[in-house]
Amino acid sequence: MTESYDWMVKYTPQAEWIERRGIMLWLAFFFIELGAGTFFVSAFFGILPIMLTGWLLCAVIGGGFHLAFLGKPQRFWRILISSGWKTSWISRGLFFVFLFLVLGLIHMILSQWANPSTALLVAANIFCFLTIIYGGFAMNYINGIPLWNSALLPILYLISGIWGGAEVTLGLTLAGAGASAGLAAEEWIRLLLIGFLILILIYLISVRYTSQTGQASVRVMVQGKWSALFWIGVVLIGMVVPLITVIFSFFSGLEAIPAAVFYAAILCGLLGDLIVRYLILRCGMYNPLIQSSARTVSVPG
């Protein structure tokens, strides 16, 4: 929390998208992207029950949080009828989610009771892919917050969305919803986890050298007020635990690891993903309005 006399004089954290009802948006982005990621991965393996799980995660939980976040949820339809999609990523995102949900639902209905169309599945997956990535673009567009204004953010969200989806798919295959796909999903997780690790490192380093505000944001995250959450929540729980599990499974085989260990690693991975998103929203700071002060102010936290 910035003191009122420091507001926009020093680095000022953004609040609207993380404090009070802003928490809803954090959860909305997470569940929308996790649901779409789950649909994307399970559609690749053709497991209908998991596709439905992803669809429900996206539509019911993600959509519910999105509506709960809005100041006027009863007016959300206005986004669909306006021409906002030409320039607004939130508007584009709603179109992507809407089209993904409609096409995905039709595909699942056809798969269950009639002949599914490949073209329909491809179209659903294209919008599913766009659903995963739009949140990153919505944040990347904001040039006042250097932590968000990075071209790597949409890629980071894309990888984390598909990674989360692969984890949910693996978890549900272990529970018996399509055991043959478990091995393949685990291979996806290995690659995506390593990709996520490398990307988050590059992302933080690149933001750190973008501007003084970017540097302050990264410092608050890894050294300041939120460092405990970063090192314990993101690095230890979200990365080290899943990494040890996938390394062990790589050398000993999937069958050698008890299902409980995999479930724990999956939960840790998802929790780490959730915390990363929280920290990116929480540590986003604005450049001070009074330019010369940027050189002399201390970093909050």
Name which of 94, 109, 17 is nearest 59 in CA terms: 94
Backbone φ and ψ for 221, nearest 5 degrees, come out as -75, -45
3-state SS, residue 287: coil
What amino acid is encoded at 78 in this protein? R
Among residues 1, 75, 113, 115, the one that binds other proteins under rule CB under 8 A: 75
Among residues 143, 228, 258, 260, the one that binds other proteins under rule CB under 8 A: 143
Among residues 11, 12, 158, 188, the one that binds other proteins under rule CB under 8 A: 12
Nearer to other proteins, 79 or 177 (CB): 79
Please give the Cα distance from 213 to 288 (Å, whole number).
Answer: 8
Among residues 78, 232, 244, 256, the one that binds other proteins under rule CB under 8 A: 78
Among residues 76, 198, 223, 259, the one that binds other proteins under rule CB under 8 A: 76
Using rule CB under 8 A, residue 1 touches other proteins? no
Please give the Cα distance from 189 to 241 (Å, whole number).
Answer: 13
Using rule CB under 8 A, residue 298 touches other proteins? no
Nearer to other proteins, 118 or 296 (CB): 296
Task: Report the site for other proteins in 270-289 (rule: CB under 8 A).
Answer: 286-287, 289
Please give the Cα distance from 125 to 133 (Å, whole number).
Answer: 12
The DSSP-derived string for 191-240 is HHHHHHHHHHHHHHHHHHTT-HHHHHHHHHHHTSTTHHIIIIIIIIIIII
Rounded to a whole number of angstroms, the minimum distance from the CB of residue 255 to other proteins is 47
Among residues 29, 40, 89, 129, the one that binds other proteins under rule CB under 8 A: 89
Cβ atoms of 160 and 196 within 8 Å: the answer is yes
Using rule CB under 8 A, residue 19 touches other proteins? no
Residues that bind other proteins (CB under 8 A): 5, 7-9, 12, 14, 16-17, 20-22, 69-73, 75-76, 78-79, 82-85, 87-91, 94, 138, 141-145, 286-287, 289-293, 296
